[in-house]
Structure 1
Amino acid sequence: MTANTTKITPHFTIGELIASSTATRLHLANIPTPEALRRLLGTAEMLERVRSTLDAPVIITSGYRGPALNRAVGGVTSSDHMSGQAADIIAPRFGTPYQIAKTLAPLVSVLGIGQLILEGVKGKQWVHVSTRIPEKPSNRVITITDAGAQLGIQVLS
Structure 2
Amino acid sequence: MKLTQHFSLAELTNSTTAQRLGLDNTPASELVPRLVRTAEMLERIRAELGAPVTVTSGYRSPAVNRAVGGVTSSDHAQGHAADIVVPGFGNPYTVAKLLSQLMAPLGIGQLVLEGVKGKQWVHVSTRTPDKISNRVITITDAGAQLGIRALS
- Which residue matches 1:30? 25
Once residues 126 and 77 of structure 1 are traced to their aligned partners in structure 2, the CA distance between those partners, rounded to angstroms, is 21
SS for the counterpart of 1:117 is strand
The 5-angstrom pairing of residues 8-157 of structure 1 reads 8-157=3-152
8 Å CA contact retained: 1:9, 1:48: yes
**Could you list the per-position Cα deviations for residues 16-58 of structure 1 after superposition, in whole angstroms to 9, with x for gaps in the alignment?**
0000011000000001011211100000000000000110000
Structure 1: gaps spanning 5 or more residues: 1-5
- Which residue matches 1:7? 2
TM-score when normalising by structure 2: 0.98
Percent sequence identity over matched residues? 68
TM-score when normalising by structure 1: 0.95
8 Å CA contact retained: 1:118, 1:143: yes
Alignment RMSD: 0.6
8 Å CA contact retained: 1:61, 1:89: yes
The runs of at least 4 consecutive aligned structure 1 residues that moved more than 4 Å come to none
SS for the counterpart of 2:102 is helix
Structure 2: gaps spanning 5 or more residues: none
**Could you list the per-position Cα deviations for residues 96-148 of structure 1 after superposition, in whole angstroms to 9, with x for gaps in the alignment?**
00000001001111110000000000000000000000001111110001111
8 Å CA contact retained: 1:36, 1:82: no
CA shift for structure 1 position 7: 2.0
